[in-house]
Amino acid sequence: MEKELVILGLESSCDETACAITKGGKLLANAISSQISVHQKYGGVMPEIASRLHLENIACVLEDALKEAKITVDEVDAIAVTRGPGLIGALHVGIQAAKTLSLIYNKPLIPVHHLAGHIYANEFVSPLKFPLLAVVVSGGNTELVYMKEHLNFEIIGETKDDAIGESFDKVARVLGLPYPGGVAIDKLAKVGEHTYKLPNPLHDGSLNFSYSGLKTAVINLKHNLEQKGEEIVIENMAKSFQDVAVGMVLDRVKRATELYPVKQVVLAGGVSANSYLRSEITKLFEGSEIEVIIPPIWCTTDNAAMICKVGEYLYKQNVFADLSISVDPSWRIEDFKKF
């Protein structure tokens, strides 16, 4: 029988410090320390504060995970760590911790692409079936990724400017809603109506996205109404914005599945927690042969369990790094073996 690999994963790319341990792909521990309450005061993630908090918390989540899994680092087969994309200072904390563990305990080091992690988080729900279309929608990225097989990533569409999550956060800030804006807009949109006309850009036949114009349109509309002495109806603006922002995803996904022979569509990243996106994408493929995988909410936020998942596949392909590696804040998923 094949040995069940034990992978220890570390994640620190944004505002969650996390350590997880898997054995044979099954989750033994999943420790997460979230910084959201600290960043909320500033209306968004403050990179310098994020790095400092990762530094304070990384040893704690490591200790918690080892305790929960009831193992020692000696029993681990490899250390997997997020190398990018993300905030440079934040990523450094995870990478240095992983390198230290790798050096002291003489364990192989596996650099993992954060978005590959979000895609593979779905394996905690259901095995991935290829070819598939991964819809990566997060605070820093918006990409359609076509996968012919395991660890084969081809970006077939991506944002030309802002990420979808970034636009949710910025629009929320303009409307006076708390960070993370996506959660607040999602909640308000449920009681709002689509009354505001907003632009839906980029009709070039490609599978690319553009969110910057949509965000600016909301800002301008708010200022214009204020100048006229009119109040903006926040829930209606939330609904109008969300319809257009999510509508762009649904349109690209629909067209991508007409162009590529996919068996599965999987959602990935923080914005995949959006209730409207989750219900509409399910409806889009009702009665079709394409299976839709919606990750549970715990998989949509940053965690290290997903880093272990990718780490195990990379281990089986002998993808290891030496101690000279560094982070890459804008690492492309197609280059996941280049470091």
Binding stretches for ligand KG4 (CB under 6 A):
14, 138-140, 165, 168-169, 180-183, 186, 269-271, 273-274, 301-302
Name the token pair of 30.
């999943």
Choice between 302 and 328, CB closer to ligand KG4 = 302
CB of 167 to ligand KG4, least distance (A): 8
Peptide bond before residue 131 is cis, with ω within 30 degrees of 0: yes
C-alpha span between 60 and 331 (Å, rounded): 27
Choice between 9 and 165, CB closer to ligand KG4 = 165
CB of 227 to ligand KG4, least distance (A): 28
Choice between 28 and 137, CB closer to ligand KG4 = 137
CB of 13 to ligand KG4, least distance (A): 6
CB of 78 to ligand KG4, least distance (A): 23
Choice between 78 and 183, CB closer to ligand KG4 = 183
CB of 139 to ligand KG4, least distance (A): 3
Choice between 23 and 239, CB closer to ligand KG4 = 239
Collapse the DSSP code of 132 into the 3-class scheme (helix H, G, I; strand E, B; otherwise coil) and give the result: strand
CB of 95 to ligand KG4, least distance (A): 16
DSSP 295: -
Q: Which residues of 122-134 are buried (b: 16+ CB within 10 A; e: fewer)?
A: bbbeeebeeebbb
Burial of 317 (0-12, 13-18, 19+ CB in 10 A): exposed
Choice between 120 and 168, CB closer to ligand KG4 = 168
